[in-house]
Amino acid sequence: MVSLYGPDLEHVDFGWPYDYQNTMNKYVLIPLYKYFMEENPGLGVKIPRPSGY
Amino acid sequence: MNLIIKYFFVGILPLLLLSCYKDNTSIGNNQITELDISFPNITGAEINMEKNEPLTIDPVITQDGADKAMTYEWQVNYEVFSTDKKLVFPCSKLGKYFIRLKVSNEDGSAFKNFTLNVNSPYEEGLMVLGQNEQGDGSLAFMRKYSPAEIAAGKVESFVNNVFTLNNPGNKIGKNPTDIAKRLNQVFISSSGEGKIYYLNAKTFELEATISAADYPDFKPVAMNVPDAGFRTAVILCEGGKIYNLALLENLILSNAKYSQTVMMKTGFGYNLNDCFNYYWNPATSQMLQYSSYYTTNSLQAFQNQDLVDFFYDASAIYVITKSRTTPAVYTKTVFSQYIQNNSTKLLDIKEQAVLNVIGGDPDLNPSSPIVVNAAFKN
């Protein structure tokens, strides 16, 4: 995944990397959701609840 | 006059000087020993071997003159593999190899080559996952031979411990629980280790070891891995917990759709569009169905009933239950794959009948073997 898209996923130039959607869910979206919606809701960042969480 | 002098120096003088050279050379008269190479056990320019079946060649070298000291050089894909006379090639990797023997003596060299194909012995056959008395897992494989191969003397027999054979230094570990093939993947679960091993189906070489450090209760017992292109499978763990396995990403995820504890039994079936996973929730006496698009259950169909068994067959889920109030009454209920109608959410029962069980208890029980995998049935 890193070799395809770079360490910061900067080369994902399309909507959603379906081949890696579980990885994205587990390591990107769920931590994002936890951080912004559960631990720091005061920051005001809205993250939709990821599937599988 | 100048022209004559010029011709003299350029043309005639070199000839005059050359004529003064005394030639003492003679034609070679030493007998050259020519080499001839033959491989006794190889006929033709191409041979086929199976993985892990060592190829041994003891070449016969003849010299048509005096016996002279010889050196040997076995080349594999144009690189020196061995300088011994006898070749022992392990055939440990699948592939096509160009093999050449170079034999040299003081007079020159001779070459002989052939092509070696190292093929998979695991293309078709029977896998058996087992464990010894100490609980250590092992994998055995029996290759299926064609009638022509059997007529040629091949005998179908089990090769034991192919996991370690193809992955030196690695073991399945304690309490292996399930094995499943998906296209070019083979998955083996181990509840004792809390891991799933992903092997290449053609080589049985370990591609990945999947564990879930973030889920301490991940002790896989059964894997609903269809032999098709689905990317996610459902894993039943000890204690009746369900997890998802991302088949291409080697990742364990919690299953948010079914967080309740289920009975330690599962079955599954699939078609081109979806994979249907079935569980029994003893707390609610419900059949649960979990698939890509729908999560359904049997609502109140089995109130006051205990499960006897369930299995999937021919695009339907069969459920055998026993009445709690009248234990002698057994009921067979046949649902469609989704159990509920996806639009109306009503139960989609294709058939329901009270079974006439002769002599008390039927042979089936909740721990009956799973025989729902279509590939297994075939």
Query: Rounded to an integer, what distance in angstroms lies between the CA atom of residue B66 and that of residue B134?
Result: 63
* B38: number of Cβ within 10 Å: 10
Element (H, E) at B173: none
Mutate to test the interface with A, among B234, B235, B253, B258 (most CBs of A within 10 A): B253
Check CB contact of B88 with chain A, cutoff 8 Å. Answer: no
ipTM comes to 0.77
Give chain B positions within 8 Å (CB) of A51: 256
A25: closest chain B residue by CA: B253
Element (H, E) at B56: strand B55-57
> Percentage of residues in chain B with pLDDT exceeding 70?
89
The residues, ordered by sequence, that sit 6+ positions from B18 with a Cβ below 8 Å of its Cβ are: none
A53: closest chain B residue by CA: B256
How crowded is the C-beta side of B277, counted as CA atoms within 13 Å?
Answer: 26
**Model pLDDT for residues B292-348, shown as the tens digit of each residue:** 889 999 999 999 999 988 989 889 999 999 999 988 888 999 999 999 999 999 999
Express the helix, strand and coil content of chain B in percent, nearest 5 each: 10, 45, 45
Check CB contact of A49 with chain B, cutoff 8 Å. Answer: no
Say whether B248 and A19 touch across the interface (CB within 8 A). Answer: yes
**Model pLDDT for residues B130-189, shown as the tens digit of each residue:** 999 999 999 999 999 999 989 989 899 999 999 999 999 999 989 999 999 999 999 999
Residue by residue, pLDDT tens for chain A (53 residues) are 778 788 877 777 777 777 788 888 888 899 999 999 999 999 999 999 987 78
Angle (CA) B2 B3 B4, round 5°: 90
Give chain B positions within 8 Å (CB) of A26: 251, 253
Give chain B positions within 8 Å (CB) of A20: 249
pLDDT of residue B358: 66
Q: Which long-range contacts (CB under 8 A, 24 or more apart) does B226-229 make?
A: B226/B182, B226/B268, B226/B270, B226/B275, B227/B180, B227/B181, B227/B182, B227/B183, B227/B375, B228/B182, B228/B183, B228/B270, B228/B272, B228/B275, B229/B183
CB B310 within 8 A of CB B320: yes
Helices (H), ranges, chain B: 2-7, 13-18, 147-151, 162-166, 374-377
- Strand B195-200 vs strand B176-182: parallel, antiparallel, or unpaired? unpaired
Q: How far is A45 from chain B (nearest CA, A)?
A: 23
Domains of chain B: 35-119 (2.60.40.10), 120-256 (2.130.10.10), 259-378 (no CATH)
The answer to whether residue B247 scores a pLDDT higher than 60 is yes
- Strand B46-50 vs strand B108-119: parallel, antiparallel, or unpaired? parallel
Q: Which of B193, B160, B161 is nearest to B174 (CA)?
A: B193
Check CB contact of A20 with chain B, cutoff 8 Å. Answer: yes
pLDDT of residue B374: 45
Query: Rounded to an integer, what distance in angstroms lies between the CA atom of residue B318 and that of residue B335?
Result: 7
CB B364 within 8 A of CB B309: yes
Find the CB nearest A26 among B248, B251, B255. B251
Query: Rounded to an integer, what distance in angstroms lies between the CA atom of residue A33 and that of residue A22?
Result: 15
B243: closest chain A residue by CA: A52
Q: How far is B254 from chain A (nearest CA, A)?
A: 7
Give chain A positions within 8 Å (CB) of B255: 52
Query: Rounded to an integer, what distance in angstroms lies between the CA atom of residue B258 and that of residue B277?
Result: 11
Size of interface A-B (CB pairs under 8 A): 23
Query: Rounded to an integer, what distance in angstroms lies between the CA atom of residue B128 and that of residue B217?
Result: 26
pLDDT of residue B10: 67
**Model pLDDT for residues B263-298, shown as the tens digit of each residue:** 888 999 999 889 999 999 999 999 999 998 899 999
pLDDT of residue B373: 43
A1: closest chain B residue by CA: B249
Check CB contact of A22 with chain B, cutoff 8 Å. Answer: yes
A49: closest chain B residue by CA: B256
Query: Rounded to an integer, what distance in angstroms lies between the CA atom of residue B192 and that of residue B237?
Result: 11
CB B192 within 8 A of CB B214: no
Q: Which of B141, B144, B140, B138 is nearest to B124 (CA)?
A: B144
CB B290 within 8 A of CB B277: yes
Say whether A19 and B246 touch across the interface (CB within 8 A). Answer: no
Say whether A52 and B253 touch across the interface (CB within 8 A). Answer: yes
**Model pLDDT for residues B64-107, shown as the tens digit of each residue:** 888 889 999 999 999 999 999 999 999 999 999 999 999 999 98
CB B97 within 8 A of CB B113: no
Say whether A23 and B249 touch across the interface (CB within 8 A). Answer: yes
Find the CB nearest A22 among B253, B255, B256. B253
Check CB contact of B255 with chain A, cutoff 8 Å. Answer: yes
Stated length of chain B: 378
| Mean pLDDT of chain B, nearest integer | 88
Q: How far is B96 from chain A (nearest CA, A)?
A: 29
Query: Rounded to an integer, what distance in angstroms lies between the CA atom of residue B97 and that of residue B100?
Result: 10
Two tokens, residue B20: 């003064």
A51: closest chain B residue by CA: B256
Find the CB nearest B251 among A19, A23, A53. A23
Q: Please give the distance of CA B317 from its chain centroid, rounded to a whole number.
A: 30
At B162, give phi and psi (nearest 5°). Answer: -70, -20
pLDDT of residue A15: 75
